[in-house]
Chain A
Amino acid sequence: MPSLFRNFYLKTSMARTLNLHLKIWRQPGPDAGGWFQEIEASEIPETASFLEMLDIVNQKLISVSGDPVVFDHDCREGICGTCGMVINGVPHGPQRGTTTCQLHMRTFNDGDTIWIEPFRAKAFPIIKDLMVNRSGFDRIMAAGGFISVRTGAAQDANALPISKEAADSSMDAAECIGCGACVASCKNASAMLFTAAKAGQFNMLPQGQPEKHRRVLGMVKTMDEAGFGNCTNQYECEAACPKRIGVRWISKLNRDYTLAVVHDTLLAPVGKGGGEG
């Protein structure tokens, strides 16, 4: 029975293919040394995604050495933020506003050499090969990346009008997928863009105002404790962000932070009750 699907398998795979020289970072564990493994990837269809190219490579590695490359990935549609590797020195590779899973091989040329490394940062310890531990982001979120509202305590959604501009702007920040490319691109391994986007989403909205100061103080403190570096305004993060989150959020965080410090020290100490000033 020639089914649709089978037809498809017969009729496709006519796309242009590439032969590539890969140099992939291999590291057995967090404390082990690492090296670049050289792999020849041949006949890679240009319509394949970057991760599908690695799938093809891994299928070969499994049969040859039994040691496939470990890398994080899940949704493969650019939204979960699980995947991420440094490709030719750039987090998520050469195409702006694109996650690794959405990068397609047509971006490369036949005969290219491609260097593939993990996101490197002190606060992102390598687990194995290209897989890193980004739990620092979760700790930053637990330090204030929320609005404390209990389920069931909410008023009618339209009881609080919010200007379209504020909502849209909040959404710009909320689009962050938490992949960590901002950290990987920064020479200081700073998490300012991530933290700024997360705090900014809430701080733009009226619902976010009551906890604004404690949110900012808590998230920044945790960011520092997690081992992320300082921001020195090089804007590499904005260039690397697959969701094009702008550095204006960092400006806003800095402003909100100053205000929070003033409130905390002079007007209404955070965590000690008192008014909102």
Chain B
Amino acid sequence: MSTIMLDAKIPAGPLAQKWTRHKQESKLINPANKRKFTVLVVGSGLAGASAAATLSELGYKVKCFCYQDSARRAHSIAAQGGINAAKNYQNDGDSVHRLFYDTIKGGDFRAREANVYRLAEVSSAIIDQCVAQGVPLAREYGGLLANRSFGGSQVSRTFYARGQTGQQLLLGAYSALSKEIARGNVQMFPRTEMLELVVVEGHAKGIVVRDMVSGEVTVHAADAVLLATGGYGNVFYLSTNAKGCNTTAIWRAHKKGALFANPCYTQIHPTCIPVSGDYQSKLTLMSESLRNDGRVWVPKKKEDCGKHPSEIPEDARDYYLERKYPSYGNLAPRDISSRSAKEACDEGRGVGPGGLGVYLDFADAIERYGKDRAGGRELPQAELQRLGKEVVAEKYGNLFEMYEQITGESGYERPMRIYPAVHYTMGGLWVDYNLMSNLPGLFVLGEANFSDHGANRLGASALMQGLADGYFVIPTTIAPYLATQKPGSVTTGHGAFREAAEAVNVRTKKMLDIRGKRSVDSFHRELGLLMWDECGMARSDEGLRRALARLPELREEFWNNVTVPGSGTDVNQELEKAGRLADFLEFGELMCIDALHREESCGGHFRVEHQYTKDDEAKKLGQAGEARRNDEAFTYVAAWEYTGDIARSILHKEPLQFEEAHLAVRSYV
């Protein structure tokens, strides 16, 4: 019998005033007392690094942990396109409310309104902060900041640094962190992996970590624990995540009592480089910003798919996004673009190896920019082409280079081939408005929590959320919790630490002792394939049940037949991978349970049984083939409680109430 009561602690008052009022009414801790509190931050990406730096600036003692060899390498670094902010520098009608609404709508009305509004509200301050740190965001000749547009929005509100916005923002946060490390107030633990959460009398009070060089297992006690450990996309094996990205920290916390919310919400990114072989270790994304200038198409007829694209005349091409979504065109949101690509390929109209690709064509952009540069001068075609390519190279040069490195083809000379790939996970640990999980003292930030993106995240919003959580939200919302705690009241001498460390050691030994026949990677590939087939871009009752039957078997086989060479007292990358995979094998089951229970389609969660039909289209209910939500039954956050048996996880519902946003069919026509 569960006793958990979900309280989102959404402040009272009108939506636009909630955050301001909350800040005014929140308890503070005086500067002399702040230094008595220790906070553990796990993860050093945008959310973790910004939180660690900011909390340290405020005076808290911070210990920050990351599995990478340097805090600067967290996977936020790979975000390419940009970061949204409601600055309205372009005078194109943007506002906090519009960014809020686009985000809520983009999330298919499955996000918590108050959190999203706060996100839009602090977005401007993030840009100010980053520029002050020396992040070289793109500028216009007049010296002011430049913007580009992104999927799912009709204003130009995305700030960027070439195609490496995530890198620059992360290096900004890392520089802030370095400053605090230099001051001696943040203690940094690189090459260190969190393997267990320590809970004392219901409160999160520490963690168990493993030093990935020496193998030493140590415990750390604190007054609060922050998890900023990213998403769970690697459950699919192939994804755009870094190889090391894992769900271990949040899954361990889940098994210690933290609720896991909406695990089935995963985002499939439409513009990735297609898979080229079964040895493939990861998928590479190319920024969605390419869709500003690239046109997506497939041949109208299957027979043309094998031809060189230049041999397919204009009238034999299907620019399907422009056809289906005239007002957004190639900038339709990610879930819709991905599904459309899948549909085209399912119809047999895909291009490239295995028919798993669609074209992203820059020929028109090159011609248009060439003419722009020529400024009315009559120039030979070759010269216009050269000028046009120059402009495209200025905007996306590094992406074209990357494409060529991987595929051996030039995107300037022939259309790129793209295909959707797992990219971002909207689900995560359940948190209240203060980013605190149901376990007091456990805060969850960035992609690791579920809070801001609903069932689908809009482009350029992940960087915004990570930094909002770390720089601006947690510094305010952690204080009211800490104010109720006596600093340093729990030490590592407490029995719970010894128990948790012992559990870690037992598990490590168990994995090392199996000495079976199958490698960790081979299990991970099988899990990934299963999840992609049954819980990927399109999900069905039948498929999910198949996955739910197979997962416990796969786990069983893993624990009996995996081979983990080497020892636990040394660098052992196979052991690291095995530990993460063991958690993914459990987590995958919860993901399928959630996907099966959500009998509707929304955002990135597409159930084939729930889509608009031709009849519905005739009745003007929605476009045929699009996701059909069931607002009456499913306007809630599904937060799952661990019971010792994943199949018997208990569902808790947080109803979503919309005061401002009007629940509507998400139309991008």
Q: Which residues of A contact B (CB under 8 A)?
A: 1, 3-9, 11-15, 29, 45, 47-49, 51-52, 55-56, 59, 62-63, 66-68, 70, 72-82, 95, 97-98, 102-104, 106, 127-128, 131, 133-135, 137-138, 141-143, 145-158, 160-164, 167-168, 170-171, 174-175, 177-178, 201-202, 205, 207-208
Contacts and interface: CB of A to CB of B under 8 A. Distances in A.
Nearest to A177: B167
Contacts of B281: 49, 51-52, 55, 76
A167 B136 CA distance: 6
Interface string B16-54: 000000000000000000000000000000000010011
Contacts of A80: 68, 73, 75, 77-78, 242
Interface string B336-374: 000000100110000001111000000000000000000
A59 B53 contact: no
A147 B519 contact: no
Given A67-B565, A72-B69, A138-B70, 12 more contacts: A7-B356, A8-B356, A12-B277, A47-B276, A52-B279, A63-B563, A75-B75, A79-B167, A138-B72, A138-B190, A154-B125, A162-B139
Nearest to B286: A77
B144 A67 contact: no
A117 B78 CA distance: 26
Contacts of B182: 142-143
Which of A12, A45, A75, A82 lies at the interface centre, i.e. has the most chain B CB atoms within 10 A of its CB? A75
A154 B277 contact: no
Given A62-B519, A76-B282, A207 B566 contact: no
Interface stretch (B99-107, B169-177, B458-466, B629-637): B169-177
B178 A68 contact: no
A157 B134 contact: no
Which of B141, B174, B178, B190 lies at the interface centre, i.e. has the most chain A CB atoms within 10 A of its CB? B178
B543 A1 contact: yes
B70 A70 contact: no
Contact of A201 (B134, B472, B573): B134
12 contacts: A45-B279, A47-B408, A48-B277, A75-B73, A78-B405, A137-B70, A138-B70, A147-B134, A149-B132, A157-B145, A161-B142, A174-B161
B570 interface: yes
Which of B130, B175, B285, B345 lies at the interface centre, i.e. has the most chain A CB atoms within 10 A of its CB? B175
Contacts of B78: 75, 77, 79-80
B616 to A, nearest CB: 26
B350 to A, nearest CB: 9
Which of B89, B130, B277, B565 lies at the interface centre, i.e. has the most chain A CB atoms within 10 A of its CB? B277
B279 A74 contact: no
B127 interface: yes
B556 interface: no
B504 interface: no
Nearest to B127: A157
Nearest to B525: A9
B127 A162 contact: no
B133 A147 contact: yes
Contacts of B168: 171, 174
Contacts of B529: 5-6, 9
Nearest to A218: B182
Contacts of A157: 87, 127-128, 130-132, 137, 145
B161 A171 contact: yes
Contact of B57 (A13, A15, A95, A151): A151
Interface in B94-144: 125, 127-144
B229 interface: no
Contacts of B135: 174
A1 B143 contact: no
B405 A56 contact: no
Given A1-B533, A75-B78, A146-B176, A104 B408 contact: yes
A161 B354 contact: no
Contacts of B179: 142, 146, 148
Nearest to A78: B402
Nearest to B142: A161
Contacts of A9: 278, 529
A85 to B, nearest CB: 14
Contacts of B481: none
A221 B167 CA distance: 26
B636 to A, nearest CB: 30
Given A80-B68, A145-B175, A164 B533 contact: no
A119 to B, nearest CB: 12
Interface of B: 50, 53-54, 57, 68-73, 75, 77-78, 87, 89, 125, 127-145, 161-162, 164, 167-168, 171, 174-176, 178-179, 181-182, 188, 190, 213, 240, 242-244, 275-282, 284-285, 342, 345-346, 353-356, 401-402, 405-406, 408, 471-472, 475, 519, 521-522, 529, 532-533, 536, 543, 563, 565-566, 570-571, 573-574
A60 to B, nearest CB: 10
| 6 smallest beta-carbon distances between A and B, as pairs | A161-B143, A66-B565, A154-B132, A146-B175, A11-B354, A154-B128
B356 A74 contact: no
A4 B138 contact: no
B354 A202 contact: no
Contact of B134 (A8, A81, A170): A170
A101 to B, nearest CB: 9
Contacts of B176: 146, 149, 151
Contact of B243 (A29, A73, A152): A73
Given A4-B356, A77-B282, A106-B408, A158 B178 contact: no
A68 B574 contact: yes
Given A12-B277, A152-B125, A62 B573 contact: no
Nearest to B213: A127
A205 B134 contact: yes
B342 A4 contact: yes
B69 A82 contact: yes
A77 B202 CA distance: 41
Contacts of B408: 47, 104, 106
Nearest to B71: A138
B132 A62 contact: no
Contact of A160 (B75, B131, B133): B131
A178 B574 CA distance: 26
A61 to B, nearest CB: 9
B276 A7 contact: no
Contacts of A153: 132
Contacts of A208: 134
A66 B405 CA distance: 33
A161 B137 CA distance: 12
B505 to A, nearest CB: 21
Contacts of A158: 87, 89, 144-145
Given A56-B279, A77-B78, A170-B134, A161 B565 contact: no
